[in-house]
């Protein structure tokens, strides 16, 4: 792709979604704006958000944070009780065990603070690159590229990258994107994937990116 093309893509998407993405990390990960957008809350909500819809994540995280207010309280909690609270998000036993273990590790090994380093964060249960990037970008203010299914799909459809896995997409996007725009990729592409470039039906006829998109060019838009 031409130099600067992704910046043009992000600038055009910002015209549509800058306001929608006003509370980053929450709209895409299902964290109710009632809760602070800090590393602890975003980390737990992002774990809960795996393999479920945003409304389920929201119900589960609301249940959990109403009952337990701090990382230390969750670390001391009975995983069985946590499982009942997070049941709306699915996989209750697996997610409850991961969340309790996560809080215990953070309390015992990290002084109760979520580490900024990606590799350190990925030592925590159910924390992969996507979750770590989400916490870093939205709760820590560190430029990161959080590659979910929308970012992976749209980047490849457009021809911004040619990759097979989200991890490959993350590194390929890093190569072509100025670091100060890394967080914008998830902020804007997720919304675009929800309202225009839908997973099974990209609405190219009402997309402002057709002149920059390989899929649109190949399909006559």
**197 has which bridge partners?**
202
Nearer to ligand SF4, 86 or 196 (CB): 196
Query: How big is the site for ligand SF4, counted in residues (CB under 6 A)?
Result: 14
Which residues, including other chains, have CB under 8 Å from residue 40's CB and lie 6 or more apart? 70, 71, 106, 114
- Binding ligand SF4 (rule: CB under 6 A), the pick from 13, 99, 114, 213 is 213
Within 110-129, the residues that bind ligand SF4 by CB under 6 A are: none
State the nearest-atom distance from the C-beta of 62 to ligand SF4, in Å: 33
Q: Which stretch binds ligand SF4 (CB under 6 A): 51-59, 68-76, 173-181, 211-219?
A: 211-219
Residue range at the interface with ligand SF4 (CB under 6 A); choices 126-134, 141-149, 153-161, 175-183? 153-161
Query: Is 202 an interacting residue with respect to ligand SF4 (CB under 6 A)?
Result: yes
Q: Confirm if 146 and 186 have CB atoms less than 8 A apart.
A: yes
Contacts of 127 (CB under 8 A, 6+ apart): 43, 47, 102, 121
Q: How far is CA 153 from CA 55, 130, 165, in A?
A: 22, 15, 10
Assess 207 for contact with ligand SF4 (CB under 6 A): yes
Residue 107's H or E segment, with its range, is helix 92-109
* Binding residues vs ligand SF4 (CB under 6 A): 154, 157-158, 196-197, 202-204, 207, 209-210, 213, 215-216
């Amino acid at each position: 792709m031409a130099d600067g093309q992704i910046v043009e893509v992000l600038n055009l998407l910002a015209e549509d979604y800058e306001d929608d993405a006003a509370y980053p990390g929450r709209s895409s990960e299902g964290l109710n704006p009632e809760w602070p957008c800090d590393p602890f809350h975003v980390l737990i909500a992002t774990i809960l958000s795996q393999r479920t819809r945003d409304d389920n994540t929201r119900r589960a995280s609301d249940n959990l944070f109403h009952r337990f207010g701090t990382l230390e309280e969750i670390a001391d909690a009975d995983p069985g009780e946590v499982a009942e609270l997070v049941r709306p998000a699915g996989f209750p036993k697996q997610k409850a065990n991961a969340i309790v273990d996560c809080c215990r590790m953070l309390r015992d090994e990290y002084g109760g603070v979520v580490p900024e380093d990606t590799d350190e964060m990925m030592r925590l249960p159910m924390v992969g690159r996507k979750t770590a990037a989400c916490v870093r970008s939205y709760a820590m203010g560190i430029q990161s590229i959080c590659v979910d299914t929308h970012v992976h799909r749209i980047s490849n459809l457009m021809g911004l990258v040619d990759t097979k896995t989200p991890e490959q997409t993350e590194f390929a996007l890093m190569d072509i994107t100025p670091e100060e725009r890394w967080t914008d990729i998830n902020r804007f592409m997720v919304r675009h994937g929800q309202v225009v470039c839908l997973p099974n039906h990209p609405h190219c006829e009402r997309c402002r990116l057709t002149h920059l998109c390989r899929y649109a060019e190949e399909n006559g838009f």
